[in-house]
Chain A
């Protein structure tokens, strides 16, 4: 067991956990933040994407104890009063059907837009499709997800 302290969605948290606890299990089981989904648990599907110090990371492929002092943002932490523009865009464009992949898609989408803006790069439809390589949706065929991210990029 190791004590780990980090900031999750702006709140300081501290827990004694087994060393091999995955960040996804830490969030879901210890903090009861079940918006972070575990789909494949093999780093493929991206349902568990969260932000660690502002960068998209697969929570199923990171040890919680390795994130001492980190700032973690989950899907529960992005709405500030109203919905985040990325959430609104997924709603407007119907960028989901069953919704299982949606938290990861939204966290990945925000990361994509933030990175492209920071680097001064323009975000084309093709770039969005390429950037979503690590997020799998088995319902939508991606079209509306791509449209939602494109739309949110213009509003963020």
Chain B
């Protein structure tokens, strides 16, 4: 990889300042996507601002029906957290299915959603649960946060500090992993929330994670796997590549939605 300067600030203010004062600086959290991307020369930041030394960036806390997870909390920590398992087991099981054990020991929630890989798992949970992304300058509703493939509404000098997940009545995630890469070819997170039924799709959409209104409408009147049968998923909105064409992915979305609803019980 190209040379870069490493910073490990101990406060959020210093981290924001380091980002703001270096034009091509990037936030480093677990580095499980950023470092491989830098090795391939697909990213060449001048500076890396490691947020793992900042107080309060790691950990899970519960306040009533709200679960708050620090941005630098690893997938392994989320997967094994008693609080996450008790309040939103679907989130713990999603985290347990990301990458492999070594990647889960390093990769973070904040890194995953900031990168917004179209095949990443976490964006579907954040969107499916109607979570709130807390940053160094504001709070952003999940519906407003994701901005197409590999894009979010985050400013260049804005750092995610935590994500707040409201506890759903029921929720589950089902994905069909690519047999080689294990990334989702289609993953659907369904949840019965205070704001109604939500169904977020990852891996399949041509513009990254999205909510499927047809599935949501069908599940709102009947939260059962069979209710998804009559839903039409438009192949025109799907990714098409050597791993699966658009029609195949559209069908996978329905199948994963049914599996997720069945798992939610």
Q: Give A residues with C-beta under 8 Å from B.
A: 2, 18-20, 22, 41-43, 46, 49, 52, 55-58, 61-63, 65-66, 68, 108, 111-112, 115, 119, 131, 133-135
Contacts and interface: CB of A to CB of B under 8 A. Distances in A.
A49 to B, nearest CB: 6
Given A20-B1, A43-B32, A133-B182, A56 B102 contact: yes
B153 interface: no
B49 to A, nearest CB: 11
A111 B101 contact: yes
Contacts of B4: 19-20
Interface of B: 1-6, 8, 28, 31-32, 35-36, 38-40, 48, 50, 52, 76, 80, 99-103, 105-106, 182
A46 B100 contact: yes
Nearest to B100: A134
B6 A112 contact: no
A42 B103 CA distance: 12
A55 B105 contact: yes
Contact of A62 (B5, B31, B38, B100): B31
Given A43-B36, A134-B99, A56 B105 contact: yes
B100 A133 contact: yes
B75 to A, nearest CB: 12
A49 B102 contact: yes
A61 B35 contact: yes
B106 A61 contact: yes
Where chain A touches its partner, the secondary structure class is mixed
A41 B39 contact: yes
B3 A62 contact: no
Contacts of A133: 100-101, 182
Contacts of B32: 43, 61
Interface centre among A22, A42, A52, A66 (most CB of B within 10 A): A66
Given A61-B31, A63-B35, A108 B102 contact: yes
Contacts of A49: 102
29 contacts: A19-B4, A19-B5, A20-B6, A20-B38, A22-B35, A41-B39, A42-B36, A42-B39, A42-B40, A43-B32, A43-B36, A43-B103, A52-B105, A55-B105, A58-B102, A58-B106, A61-B31, A61-B32, A61-B35, A61-B36, A61-B103, A61-B106, A66-B8, A66-B52, A108-B101, A108-B102, A111-B101, A119-B80, A135-B100
Contacts of A115: 101
Contacts of B5: 19
B137 to A, nearest CB: 25
Contacts of A18: 3
